[in-house]
Amino acid sequence: MPWYLLIRNRKGYDMDPFDHIAQNNEVSDLYAQLATKDVQIAEMREASTKLLKAVDDLISESDGVCGLHLNGDAAPWGSLVAGGMFEEWLLPLEEARAVLAKYPG
């Protein structure tokens, strides 16, 4: 390999810049990895959407959480969601909604 032409692939190996078969294999491997990531992202998006819907259904069908404050009082959902006194408990729900909205599938 000429000293002035040196390409390193993503694994750190030297590649001949004129070896188009090796380069095509490298590109094909990267496309395969991207396709796998796309499938994983879609699965995570679907699972996250289902989880958010399940929590939303739970919130709409109940009044709150009993025993949360360990004093026998019920914690109404309004105090646990964004804007409530104890919103830090469920802020990750709003963060998940924001991410799903930011990157629609």
- How far is 49 from 43, CA to CA, in rounded Å? 10
Residue extents of the structural domains in the chain = 43-102
Question: Ranked by mean pLDDT, which of 4-13, 18-27, 38-47 comes out on top?
Answer: 38-47
What pTM did the predictor assign?
0.68
Extract the tokens encoding 3.
């000293």
**pLDDT score of 21 more than 90:** no
Q: What is the pLDDT of residue 9?
A: 58
- Could you identify the residue written with the tokens 């032409």? 5
Bigger pLDDT: 56 vs 14: 56
